[in-house]
């Protein structure tokens, strides 16, 4: 089960892991251990090890559909993995105050972890944000001319559409043994992709004699990934609970559609994320579900109970410890001619509170 659910099926996990190991292997000469904890950074993606010539042969356990994708778009694979990384990074930012804060999405050799609990709202969000990350990253590569599709103009609008299309093709190539979860993932991927599609902005700048706007130059641009992350985060607010509709097919009874859990056979809204299961509280460690619990998390003593990072919410009623922190820094610096700077040392005291 370790590598086996969600957006990354086995092979994706193994590939990311492998890229990571290659990067470490490469950097052994320069530094003892490499910065393994920076799994969400995009550093390793541009590693020299990741050449289009070697990428498809260095992955294992790929479905044939995915292998064809890799071979068809070799030089795009770096952008795909950069996209996964920016999606994970944004997940960490958006969920930074919450009990579950995307730590189980880190790549940490020798293990790659993608362990949002399947079917939950956290799982829904991670699929949307990573799908969006892939589309955004591929669109940027296309519009910068780093990668060109034969016979296609690389303007921004085209790049976005093609980025979304390619992300979809990549994501659809995945297998999931659980058809219900697969339908849920597909829906949530599409919510993320739709938000990227809508993020195309028209920007204009005036030229000409001061403050006149005799000449206007306009262009289309892609919103920053932070803006996209914010919009996807908002979609948690309209999360809908779904189940699957089973229909009889030639191969037996099969889940074919998502329908709302409660209201007859209505379909979920296109623009809202969907989940199938209640989330755990995430309060206590649960190794089976890769939940680390909230003990030791820094919480905000003065925040109201409505805030996810308030001590009452984050610490789940266990209470918190207060630590005094002394920070030393240079201060009152003065410049003496020429050329010295003299500073005083200042101490700053403050308290932090950590969950018990």
* Dihedral over Cα of 298, 123, 91, 175: its sign: positive
The answer to whether 42 contacts ligand NAG (rule: CB under 6 A) is no
The nearer residue to ligand NAG, 241 or 354, going by C-beta atoms, is 354
Per CB under 6 A, the list member of 89, 113, 127, 140 interacting with ligand NAG is: 140
Residue 193, token pair as written in the block: 């992709």
The span from the CA of 343 to the CA of 324, in Å, is 25
The nearer residue to ligand NAG, 50 or 195, going by C-beta atoms, is 50
Per CB under 6 A, the list member of 66, 94, 101, 199 interacting with ligand NAG is: 101
The answer to whether 103 contacts ligand NAG (rule: CB under 6 A) is yes
The answer to whether 136 contacts ligand NAG (rule: CB under 6 A) is no
The answer to whether 231 contacts ligand NAG (rule: CB under 6 A) is no
The span from the CA of 36 to the CA of 75, in Å, is 25
Per CB under 6 A, the list member of 2, 60, 72, 96 interacting with ligand NAG is: 96
Q: Confirm if 281 and 287 have CB atoms less than 8 A apart.
A: no
CB atoms near residue 302 (< 10 Å): 8
The answer to whether 129 contacts ligand NAG (rule: CB under 6 A) is no
> Min. distance of Cβ 58 from ligand NAG in angstroms?
19
The span from the CA of 39 to the CA of 109, in Å, is 9
The position carrying tokens 């009889």 is 248
The nearer residue to ligand NAG, 141 or 232, going by C-beta atoms, is 141
The span from the CA of 307 to the CA of 285, in Å, is 22
> Min. distance of Cβ 165 from ligand NAG in angstroms?
18
Per CB under 6 A, the list member of 68, 292, 308, 356 interacting with ligand NAG is: 292
Residue 63, SS3 per DSSP: coil
The answer to whether 26 contacts ligand NAG (rule: CB under 6 A) is no
Stretch touching ligand NAG by CB under 6 A, among 4-12, 138-146, 157-165, 207-215: 138-146
Q: Which residues pair with 257 in a beta bridge?
A: 245
The answer to whether 45 contacts ligand NAG (rule: CB under 6 A) is no
Could you tell me which residues come within 8 angstroms of residue 280 by beta carbon, excluding any fewer than 6 positions away? 117, 120, 286, 289, 291
> Min. distance of Cβ 299 from ligand NAG in angstroms?
9
Omega before residue 216 within 30° of 0, cis: no
Number of residues interacting with ligand NAG: please give it, by CB under 6 A.
Answer: 15
Compute the C-alpha angle 347/349/352, nearest 5°.
145
Query: Quick one: DSSP state of residue 221?
Result: E
The answer to whether 113 contacts ligand NAG (rule: CB under 6 A) is no
The answer to whether 262 contacts ligand NAG (rule: CB under 6 A) is no
Q: Which residues form the interface with ligand NAG (CB under 6 A)? A: 31, 35, 96, 101, 103, 140-141, 144, 146, 292, 297, 300, 302-303, 307
């Amino acid at each position: 089960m370790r590598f086996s659910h969600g957006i990354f099926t086995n092979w994706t996990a193994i590939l990311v892991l492998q890229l990571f190991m290659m990067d470490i292997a490469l950097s052994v000469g320069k530094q003892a251990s490499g910065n393994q904890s920076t799994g969400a950074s995009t550093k390793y993606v541009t590693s020299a090890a990741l050449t289009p010539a070697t990428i498809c042969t260095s992955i294992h356990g790929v479905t044939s559909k995915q292998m064809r994708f890799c071979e068809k778009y070799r030089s795009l694979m770096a952008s795909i993995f950069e996209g996964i990384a920016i999606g994970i990074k944004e997940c960490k930012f958006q969920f930074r105050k919450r009990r579950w804060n995307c730590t189980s999405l880190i790549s940490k050799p020798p293990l790659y972890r993608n362990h949002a609990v399947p079917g939950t709202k956290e799982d829904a969000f991670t699929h949307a944000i990573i799908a969006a990350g892939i589309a955004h990253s591929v669109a940027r590569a296309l519009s910068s001319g780093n990668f060109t599709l034969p016979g296609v103009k690389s303007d921004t609008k085209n790049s976005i559409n093609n980025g979304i299309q390619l992300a979809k093709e990549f994501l659809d190539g995945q297998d999931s043994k659980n058809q219900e979860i697969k339908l849920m993932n597909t829906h949530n991927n599409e919510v993320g992709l739709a938000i990227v599609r809508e993020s195309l902005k028209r920007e204009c700048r005036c030229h000409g004699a001061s403050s006149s706007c005799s000449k206007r130059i306009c262009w289309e641009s892609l919103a920053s990934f932070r803006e996209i992350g914010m919009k996807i985060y908002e979609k948690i607010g309209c999360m809908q609970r779904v189940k699957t509709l089973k229909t009889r097919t030639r191969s037996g009874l099969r889940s074919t559609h998502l329908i709302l859990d409660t209201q007859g056979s209505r379909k979920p809204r296109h623009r809202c994320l969907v989940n199938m299961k209640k989330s755990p509280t995430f309060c206590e460690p649960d190794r089976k579900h890769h939940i680390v619990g909230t003990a030791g998390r820094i919480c905000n003593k003065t925040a109201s109970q409505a805030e996810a990072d308030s001590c009452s919410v984050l610490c789940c009623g266990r209470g918190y410890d207060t630590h005094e922190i002394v920070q030393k820094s240079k201060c009152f610096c003065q410049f003496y001619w020429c050329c010295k700077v003299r500073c005083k040392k200042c101490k700053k005291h403050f308290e932090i509170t950590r969950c018990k």
